[in-house]
Amino acid sequence: MPKILDGRLAGVGSDVPADSEELARQQAVKQIEARRRFKISTAAGRGTVLLMVLAMAALALAGCGSPRPGAFSPAGARIAAQQLARSGAVSVIVFVSDHGHSAMATAGTAPPAAGQRFRIGSVTKTFTATLVLQLVDQKRIGLDDPVGRYLPGVIPAGGTITIRELLQHTSGLADFTDFPSWMDQAERSPSIRPIDALRLAASHPLVFAPGSQWEYSSTNYIALGLVIEKVTGHPFGQELRQRILTPLALSRTELATTRRLPDLHDPGTNPNLGWAAGVIVSDARDLARFFSALLSGHLVSRASLAKMTRTVPGSLGVFSEDGLGIFATSLPCGRFWGHPGRILNYATLVAASGNGAHIKVISVRGPLGQLSTDESALLCPALAPGLFVPN
């Protein structure tokens, strides 16, 4: 496996000249208003939560308008972490890797260790999508194949919903997390299995005709996890380890298989609910390494990466476009790729440059509904004068 995070990789740059600050602000305001409220799955948490934009979006450390594209000051990580703590986060981890350099900062009323692992919630979906695209590269799955070819009889509309539509949240399948009574019972059940969540959602009418609209649904990624198992004949967790975790030496990353983990101080959650849609546990450095490997073409073919990054409108936090398991947004200081996630009281966000050289990871814990820091301001410091220190 070639080196992935090293000084040879270029960072994200700024396309906005210094004299266009007002235009940049106007563009950002329009984007913020357009995504003021959004739906994000709690995966194995309880139901679907409507939040203001996630307070922890990506930490972009003094990148906009800097003399060197993607340049950052290590002090910016500390300032971003402190800002998030002041916004209400109990625990904050901020990490950036760029041009072979990295910065890490922690904050909060109970600041974690720099290497503390955390639940990444729906960022799990990017791992699942990567596995699917690897199988596409091997010609074992077709993106335009109907899901019913792999899971016959499970989804009534399985003959019309494609693998691509599952990946891109255009399938029309209901989100199983939208049924709180069922979720409460399933969360406590020792016998619940991922296919039960899919069957529940599939028993309800489609929200829209497949391919006609976009709506985020964790059900899509439960179905994809089951497709991976059907095609490979192996458990999803085994494929995850063999295809991604071991090759990239992601020793701090795992698919949770038990309700509680010894290094996480939380009440735990049923791992069979979120499963391939939301129960991976990781740390900031591992997440940065994974996204760098993916976006730099080390995990899927260039052809598959091009398909993953072909987007449709789909708003999720700071992101305004949805690819196949990875989201994108264009801001005045650059274009960012990544995914947000939430589970229990953890919120995670990864944002990266298009070549995977400049990676930002933030994890926060706390009363997320009270956090109000704007993602765009953290991604583009020029929109929040005084928040970040100069290079």
Positions annotated as catalytic residues are: 122
CA distance linking residue 361 with residue 369, whole number of Å: 20
Q: Are strands 319-322 and 327-331 parallel, antiparallel or unpaired?
A: antiparallel
3-state SS of 349-363? EEEECCCCCCEEEEE
What does residue 96 show for φ and ψ, rounded to 5 degrees?
-135, 140
Strands (E) located in 199-333: 254-255, 280-282, 312-316, 319-322, 327-331
Q: Are 247 and 300 in contact (CB under 8 A)?
A: no
- CB neighbours of residue 151 within 10 Å: 18
d(CA 208, CA 103): 44
C-alpha distances (whole Å) from 164 to each of 107, 142, 293, 375 are 40, 9, 22, 28
**3 state DSSP class of 176:** helix
Helices (H), the chain: 21-34, 74-86, 124-137, 163-167, 180-188, 194-202, 219-232, 236-240, 271-274, 284-295, 302-308, 375-379
Q: Phi/psi of residue 359, each to 5°?
A: -120, 135
Distances (CA, A) of 239 to 136, 204, 231, 248, 252: 14, 30, 11, 14, 17
Q: 365 in helix, strand or coil?
A: strand
Token pair of 331 as six digits: 């801001």
Q: Sign of torsion, CA 120 125 126 130?
A: positive
Which residue type sits at 378? L
Rounded CA-CA distance 230/9 in Å is: 37
- The residue to which tokens 């960072």 are assigned: 11
| Amino acid, single-letter form, for residue 169 | H
